[in-house]
Each structure stands twice: as C-alpha cells, then as structure tokens.
Amino acid sequence: MRLTASQIERFEEDGFLILPGLFSPQEVAVLRDAMPALCAEDTPANIREKGSREVRTAMGIHLRHPAFAKLARHPRLIEPAFQLRGERLYIQQAKVNTKPAFEGEVWQWHYDFATHHAEDGVPEPLALNLHVFLDDVVDFNGPLYFIPGSHRHGPAPARLDTETTSYPLWVVDRDTVARLVAARGLVAATGAAGTALIFGDCLVHASPSNLSPWDRRIFSVIVNPIANALTRHDRPDWKHHRDLTPIVPLADDCLAAAPAIAAQ
C-alpha cells in the first residue's frame, strides 16, 4: 500500500487521511474476536472509565495478543508511514480505544504531541497515529472529530486535565478550539469497520461520549522516527515503549496467515 501524490498533499494540508475499506471484514473479525478476553484482563494497561469501569483504552495491545502484534506491523499501515516519515520508525504506543454502547466517555480536545513532549520528552511533532476501525463508526457512537489544518498553526497551548476522565490528558482550551474551527470547520471521521485513519501529532481532535446502542472500538498504533525518540522514561512502558527496534513490515496477508508471530 502506497499513498498517491494527491493523498500526501491532502495529508499535509488537512493533517489527516481517511482510508475506507483498508482492511477486510475477515481481517477485522480476527481483531474483534480478541477483544473480550483482552478487556477482561486485570492489568493496569486496561484503563477503565471512572463511573462504569468499562475499559476506556487497552494499552500495550501488541504485546498482549499476536493479532495486534501483526496489525502494528501491517504494511497497509506501515508503508504509508514510511512515505511520510522515513523508514526508521519505532512503535511508540499501541492500544485499542473503546467506547462501549451507552458507557463510552469523551476524549477532550487535544493533540498528541502535547502529551508526547510534556510527559516523554519527545523533541519534535513527527509521530503519526495510525488507526483501524474495529466497528462501524457513525455519527452517533463517538466518532473522532478533526479540525482540518489545525496542525499548521503549530503546537497550541495545552494544560493537563486530571479531572474530566480517568485518563490524564493535555487539553486545548475552548477559545483556541473555537478559533481553529472558525478557520476550517470540523470533520467527523466515520466509516465502516476496516476503515483506517492517519493523522499527525499536532492535529487537534476529540471525540464525544457514546450514547448509542452500538460499540465503537478503534485500534491505534503511534509510530515515531527513532531519531525523535523519547528522552524521558517517567511513564510506564505500555504508555510509551522503550524498544526502539525499527519496524519491519510483515506480509500483506499476515492477519490471515496460519502461524501467529509472537508478541515482541
């Protein structure tokens, strides 16, 4: 999988790409089948909602199940990342963000580099977030909201919010969000299961709570140039991995191939 010149131009302009149908229903089924057992695990890497105690985000997921170890190295995700950031990338973080039906809470307005820089000492906003929808994502079950072009304004002022949800997050204030939205509007990233997203480290985004009767689960692997790696090690490994081994893409049929690779 290679991005076209027009897709790269659109990514640079908007800060994100939506790639419908990148993974087949059969491939998505392999990933969905793994989720109940992973969410049932009693581990600090399963961060739970304050009220419902449903899993909010299952982190270190590529170290916990071979299907996600494969997905984190899948060429349909990694080869476009190589085009955008070069071929010496490491897995910075891998997780599934879940919004269970009726129970999934908000992710506040934020951009990822605020956390990567403040918490982990990442020098520059070069990381890429690569997503795969594990469920159909519609207007009603908590889709991501993107502010197109917000990355072009550089890192916005951010503050650490430890009160709103169970996950501390460096958030962007309302006045900044309103100003950015006035310039380019909002996009809700929706699509069928198997849709992929690519977005950069300074793109301002959020997602609302899920009041619908439909689950919304999204896989995310954040990849970062090795030359831009973390310089602080305060957070646990499952929030920012210390292994700087360069990613080597697997075969395109790896999710359907019989032998499972061991999680690394």
What pLDDT, on the 0 to 100 scale, is given for residue 264?
A: 42
Please tell me the distance from the alpha carbon of residue 195 to that of residue 91, in angstroms, as a whole number.
21
CA distances in angstroms from 85 to 79, 117, 195, listed in the order given: 10, 18, 21
DSSP label at residue 21: T
CA distances in angstroms from 123 to 137, 154, 232, listed in the order given: 33, 14, 11
By the 10 Å C-beta count (0-12 exposed, 13-18 middle, 19+ buried), 8 is classed as middle
Please state whether the predicted TM-score (pTM) of the whole model is above 0.85. yes
Query: Which of 250, 205, 156, 253 lies closest to 18, judged by CA?
Result: 205
What pLDDT, on the 0 to 100 scale, is given for residue 1?
A: 87
CATH superfamily ID and name for 16-228: q2cbj1_9rhob like domain (2.60.120.620)
Place of tokens 């809700």: 188
Please tell me the distance from the alpha carbon of residue 249 to that of residue 245, in angstroms, as a whole number.
12
In the predicted model, what is the mean pLDDT of the chain? Answer: 95
Please tell me the distance from the alpha carbon of residue 54 to that of residue 206, in angstroms, as a whole number.
19
Dump pLDDT digits (tens) for 231-249.
999 999 999 999 999 999 9
Which percentage of the chain shows pLDDT scores above 70?
97
